[in-house]
Structure 1
Amino acid sequence: MKFDQLAQEAINELSTVEDIIRWSVSRMAEHEVFFGHGTDNPWDEALYLVAHGLNLPWQLAEKWRHTRLTRSERERIIDLLRQRIRENIPTPYLTGEAWFCGKPYLVDERVLIPRSPIGELINNRFAPWWPQDKQPQRILDLCTGSGCIGIACAHEFVDASVELLDISFDALEIADANISMHGLEGRVSALHSDLLTAASGRYDIIVSNPPYVDADDMAELPREYRHEPELALAAGEDGLDLVRIMLAEVRDYLTDDGVFILEVGNSYPALQAAYPQLAFEWPEFEQGGHGVCVLRASDLDLIGA
């Protein structure tokens, strides 16, 4: 039975919040939508969409589950499901919100949806690579997108000044909006920059989730990822087009005891092969994820040696 027919039946017949959550889970499973933008299963995805359609918190309290829906509420929720299933639009673009390090961020199709495993490193204050008895003074988030990584660093290190750099003016509009939403205008700034061109001085911590998807992976991306800006994903044949530039320059912007945290995802074998002289450290993540390396300033001194 086609989705539109099932949707019309649902609008006419479903009664409670619990009914429409269950219906949404069934339809997403039936259509094999891809999950990778904040959830990994249809149940959580349905909770987000239903709660958003009802203007309720996504952690729906039990007392709401058995309340009855109006027809307009059913229509609004099922329209969201239609966009999620038929157009493969990721849920955070439909809700305008994504969560990172336990806090909400504004997102739309001008920026990647926050999902980096770097969030776990931020929550751990970059231990053991950054001394826990020392406060970083300056932090740089390179290729910032929505600003979520740099802003999360500002929340974690409350005495640090943080700069967010990106080449996309569209992305910087979102980053500025998130700086304002988090009340960090005095301590976090977003600047237009082609990689490190707008950087100045030295930073204790430089963190980057740059474009790193190689040509093969770009060709195989699920349709959901096609809604994200290609500028923030594609990075040449081996995924290292921008990373090579960064590694050639980043040491000049690090303090002598500084650290560089870099996400390269599935391009990590190419990175290791291209720089056999570097002592990459690859954290293991309790919450899932891979392809993030840590380099100390002294490691970067070996480039060109």
Structure 2
Amino acid sequence: MDNKLTFLGQRKQNKLNILPENPERPVEDKPLGRFPSWLHRKLPRGGDLFKTGSLLEKSRLSTVCEEAKCPNLFECWSKKTATFLIMGKECTRACGFCDIDFSKTPKSLEADEPDRIVESVKALSLKHVVITMVARDDLSDQGASHIVKVVEALRKDAPECTIELLTSDFNGDMAALETTLNAGPDIFNHNIETVRRLSPRVRHRATYERTLLVLSHAKKAAARLGKQIFIKSGIMVGLGEDDHEVLETLKDLKEAEVDIVTIGQYLQASQKKLLVKRFVTPEQFKEYESTGLKMGIPYIFSGPFVRSSYNAESVMKAVKDNTRKGNEGR
């Protein structure tokens, strides 16, 4: 365990846990204390954890697993999978929940990044790749053209791999959104993150209504472009919302015609981030899932450790298998 933590410490040695000034961030919050039993689990064993990290280091690629301090990192890297973070490690937004570094002037895009991603995808033998991004509000197209280059490189040199994109809201630029969709990802993901009431406090610049607009527009635009793209979004719980508000958010996502929803427990990434207000029980996560399915949302993945890209290959497989069965039944 010490070696694993040391290894990650070396990968993260330049990480700054500093949140830019945000007057909406609460200062009166108090930590809840010890994690409940269901949030304790054993670290996986095996050498693939180190192999994955070494490969990413050699390829000079960033992952949201590290930059956002995902609690599933050990498990996913031990399975030789990771979520690639493109367009740098500095985000132009400073959300209260996210530990990715903030910068008003991020570094320039790297032209060879798409090729390096393809090389890593091949080396890891990935069947499903998740590409996420830092918000790049400093770019005229919000980074859409760079996303397209990544997708095109994967389609050309790793055609057997399905592709999932987890993007920003493109600052409301629907032309940038459609440029991204026209590249033809298998899944387009944009997270709503939290309930309507808490969105101004939890997120920076992004809004609840604009996220719903992006998701709804993505669904319609994909159909108009003749692309079969599944629309996905995710919610964190434990930020101060109540169960009724979670269900209201599920209703909003259903109205936006979202196909896949993930619901997971928010965990504080550093002392500078929003504090956890409650630990949701596994039973309540199951209730969210059951209620959402009854609402008509086709796929819901709900649990304490669920994240947007956690077990994304299994999610893609479930969607594809169900689609195949539906086609066979026609």
The normalised TM-score by structure 1 is 0.35
Higher relative contact order (CA 8 A, sep 6+): 2
Larger Rg: 1
